[in-house]
A and B are shown apart, each in its own frame.
Chain A
Amino acid sequence: MNESLINPFTLSHPTAVQTSLFAGALFAKFDPTGRFIASGRLNGSAEIWDLETRAPIRWLDGHVKAITSIDWSRNSRYLLTSSKDWNVIIWDLSSTYDPPQRQKSLRFDVPVVSASFHPKNSQIVLVLLATGEAYVCDSRKQHRTRTELLEPLPDEVEEDEENAGHGTQRAGMTVARFDPSGKNIFVGTDNGYLLVFNTRTKIMIGRHKISGAGIMKGFDFTRSGRRLVTNSSDRTLRQFILPTYPSLPVDADLHNPPSFLDVELEPTHRFNDPINRTAWHAMCYSPDGDWLAGGAADPAGHKIYIWDISNDGAFASALDGGREPLTYLHWHPSRSSFASTTNQGSILIWHCPNPERWGAFAGGFEEVDENVEYEEREDEFDIEDEAVQFERKMKAEEEEVDIDTVVTGTQAAVVSKGTHSGNMGGAATPIGTGNGHTMDLDKLGSGMDEIIDIETSWAEEEPDLDIPGGWKMKVIMESSEDY
């Protein structure tokens, strides 16, 4: 509602740097509400910046070595940091103490490459270790487990894999991510395979060869979970439309797994830098899935390439962010904005600059693009009876006005579902949480989410305390020395 006042013409991708935060960061990620940005530092501390005041508000000190990844829970209450010091720490940001309290620590015996929350329950965490192993750690009382995700090797039962005679080695896992629904875990390996595991049972349900890829380096999903873009060591970004995986029966067992989908996946589009063949540090879809931004690993400058997916993947523009090379890129969850991190630690926030409308300073002034020929109405200069005018005014004022109901996040998404064609990532910003389903090229994904199935109900058993609107970031006033 406020967006229509602010953005009369919505350009769908950012074009200029709005502000620069000197954060000393290795990388920075927005939270799901879009109000904060979390950054990880080389010395092991994490910082949370408030975008409204553009100042840091929380400092999370718990690690002793560099932070390797950060993840926010779905309503931004919990923050997860993983580090080279073998630990994953989960922080509760609703705590009123400063420094914030740790909710939990997960300890491993090798450096942790990445970690992320399950999209529906922050008590389920996916962890990828430097040895190429991936674990799903579930800390709910009924399901307390730490399970390794293992690719089943041919002609073998699980227990025999230790046998020295077999030469088949499992490929090391290099990327691991939940898909947006949380039902599946996608893992990339160092030999160019994409493995898909079912989260609930940890059974592998798909294995896809991606020819020419080399080592898989990164994934990003569209919000509906139907499309995936991969970054790999051959310096090419590939977009895939994911196949539908058969749903597993309730009693599917890890030791007697049903067969998995073993097909090679063909990308719909390949994105690369044809001139310089630069590699990519990070890539990100826009919230509506219509744009793809790729942060180039260009050592001489800060370059972000944007492709228009809705226009068949055509190259849209290359943004220049100055002389400090880029290290990371993250798109804002609801606005047309992204945050790119430079190797000097600065976080650049990009936006679509809105030129100031000077007509707004005059009441009743409407700016138009072209001259409008004014046509007088028939009754333009009729002299109306005062009483009739007054009566009409009183009649109009009888209409009921609702000053109370607030259109919240999910309701706003329902509103936006109806206006499919016009929704380009700027309109219908939900008030509060950014949990609305946004549009995608095919609507199958969002339709499937409505069905409560075994996978979702398994994930939502023993829900965590991350309720939308159920917590507040306390404003911690800096202590003043003068009084």
Chain B
Amino acid sequence: MDPLAGMDDSSTDDDTSSQTTEDDPQVPENQVSQPPIPVVPPPVAVPAPGPTQREKPHYALRHTLRGHTMSISAVKFSPDGKLLASCGAEKMVKIWSPETGEFLRNLNGHTQGLSDISWSSDSVYLASASDDTTIRIWDVETGLTHKVLKGHTKWVFCLNYNQASNLLVSGGCDGDVRIWNTAKGKCIRTLHAHMDYVTAVHFNRDASLIVSCALDGLIRIWNTSNGQCLKTIAEGHDAICQHVQFSPNSKYILSTAHDSTIRLWDYQTTRCLKIYKGHVNTKYCISACFSVTGGKWIVAGSEDHKTYIWDLQTREIVQILEGHTDIVVAVATHPQQNMIATGSIDSDLAIRIWVDPIPRT
């Protein structure tokens, strides 16, 4: 049987897809035929006649927050939207007011630089991950450390609260993922998750799953209650993934990788549903965010000093925010308003707050 013999053009569209990657997607038969050049297609849901434009965001710089003296590694809005926290190679967490742009206070206590922070759902507590191998839980109002979580053997790189805020998940540069009981400050479980630095960990909505990614190029999904690995998603050879998170409804995973692509995965079927390109990301761990307060966007920083905003569905770049003078490593979106915070490193130690004044649709 000569595979090259019958080279007719009859390859049908419903090929079975391979297990791992996005290269052979399953194409539904009743898809509207589109030209390969990305033009703006009229979205199916909108009934307006004629050539319709999808809405675009119009973010503009509102505040520039200066105060950091060393590189910034993460910025996060509080769930009630009133505060912005930022951390970096300086050993302190800075709390700002995003409305006015003023600096509120420092949270001091760590003995080495910080990599990540996470707010509890009631916006009262903040957890920070540090190179001194500890995690501190701060009471933001008073600025005092409430708990120190010890257990990691190397630098703690990433962490996240669950929705109920009774659990904290953290990833370390020793490849371990640890789950902590926040009320007592004790480690409940340690997962030997990866062979290299764990760069991101995230809970899903009901905290039954944890997604983790590491510099060994794997994305793994874990069952929280018994610590078993449920699935592994491996991207291509050069696409070392450095940030993952669940979508707001926890059905999809957004991952950013070092081949300058951002992918949206359906983890149930291990299919890559969307790919976002156009930015530059080959070295640094840059986070990406969902923006759902106005239109549905994906926001990510880039190594070309800009912040890119893509339309979630069409994957087009709808806005590019310029203003930073160095790599934009940290991005965060406000939970209720159309506001984005971006943080940069080294030569540009500013946090910029961008606001889209157009009201929510």
The chain A residues found within 8 Å of chain B, CB to CB, are 1-2, 4-6, 18, 35, 50, 52-55, 57, 354, 356-357, 360-366, 377-384, 387, 389-407, 431-432, 472-478, 480, 482-483
Q: Is the CB of B290 within 8 A of A403?
A: yes
If A354-B226, A395-B34 touch, whether A401 touches B41 (CB-CB below 8 Å) is: no
Cβ contact within 8 Å between B11 and A382: yes
Structural contact, B3 and A354, CB atoms closer than 8 A: no
The reply to whether A403 and B275 form a contact with Cβ atoms under 8 Å apart is no
Given A364-B19, A403-B312, check contact A354 B26 (CB 8 Å).
Answer: no
Select the residue from B31, B183, B314 with max chain A CB neighbours within 10 A.
B183
Per the bound structure, the CA–CA distance linking A68 and B112 in Å amounts to: 54
CA distance A255 to B27 in the complex (A): 71
Contacts of A478 in B (CB 8 A): 183-185
| Closest residue on chain A to residue B162 by CB atoms | A52
Partner of B209, one of A2, A390, A400: A2
* Chain B residues, Cβ within 8 Å of A356: 228-229
Q: Which residues in A have their C-beta under 8 angstroms from that of B121? A: 472
Query: For residue B137, which residues in chain A have a CB less than 8 angstroms away from its CB?
Result: 477
What B residues does A472 contact at CB under 8 A? Answer: 121-122, 164
Interface check B313, CB cutoff 8 A: yes
Which residues of chain B come closer than 8 Å to A395, judged between CB atoms?
27, 31, 33-34
In the complex, identify which listed stretch (B87-95, B139-147, B330-338, B353-361) lies at the interface while the others stay far away: B139-147
B25 within 8 A of A: yes
Q: Which of B69-77, B100-108, B217-225, B341-349 contacts A (4 or more CB under 8 A)?
A: B217-225
Give B169-190 interface residues, CB cut-off 8 Å to A: 181-185, 188
A52:B315 contact, CB within 8 angstroms: no
Which residues of chain B (1-46) have a CB below 8 Å from chain A?
A: 3-4, 6-7, 10-11, 13, 15-16, 18-23, 25-28, 31-34, 36, 38, 41, 43-45
* With A55-B181, A401-B273, A477-B147 as contacts: A390 and B36 at CB distance below 8 Å: yes
Chain A residues closer than 8 Å to B44, beta-carbon distance: 400
**Pairwise interchain contact B312-A401, C-beta atoms closer than 8 A:** yes
A403 touching B292, Cβ below 8 Å: yes
B249 partner, pick from A53, A377, A382, A402, beta carbons under 8 A? A402
Q: Is the CB of B226 within 8 A of A52?
A: no
Does B60 lie at the interface of the complex (its beta carbon under 8 Å from any beta carbon of A)?
Answer: no
| A477 CB contact (under 8 Å) in B13, B21, B125 | B125
Interface bin, chain B: 35 or more
The answer for the CA separation of A384 and B319 in the assembled complex, in Å, is: 35
Identify the 8 closest CB pairs spanning chains A and B, nearest first: A363-B234, A381-B3, A364-B20, A403-B247, A396-B25, A53-B181, A364-B19, A363-B232
Q: Among the listed stretches B199-207, B301-309, B320-328, which one makes contact with chain A, having 4 or more residues with CB under 8 Å of it? A: B199-207
Could you mark each residue 232-258 of chain B with 1 if its beta carbon is under 8 Å from any beta carbon of chain A, else 0? 111000000000000111111000000
Chain B residue contacts of A394, Cβ below 8 A: 34, 36, 38
Max chain A CB contacts within 10 Å: which of B122, B181, B205?
Answer: B181
Chain A residue at smallest Cβ distance from B229: A360
What's the least CB distance linking A6 to chain B, in Å? Answer: 5
Bound together, the chains give a CA A154 to CA B60 distance in angstroms of: 83
* A1 to B208 Cα, complex, angstroms: 11
Alpha-carbon distance A478/B270, docked complex (angstroms): 41
Cβ contacts under 8 Å, A387 to chain B: 36
Expressed in whole angstroms, the minimum distance between the Cβ of A327 and any Cβ of chain B is: 26
**A52-B164, A379-B11, A473-B164 are known contacts. Are A396 and B26 too (CB-CB below 8 A)?**
yes
A-B contact pairs, 14 of them (CB 8 A): A2-B208, A50-B166, A52-B166, A52-B167, A53-B183, A55-B181, A364-B18, A364-B20, A398-B34, A400-B45, A400-B313, A402-B249, A404-B247, A480-B146
Is B188 in contact with A53, judged by CB distance below 8 angstroms?
Answer: yes
Contact: B268 with A396, CB < 8 Å? Answer: no
Q: Is B154 an interface residue (CB 8 A)?
A: no
A365–B234 Cα distance when bound, in Å, is 11
A407 to chain B, nearest CB (A): 8
Q: For residue B242, give the distance in angstroms from its CB to the closest CB of chain A.
A: 17
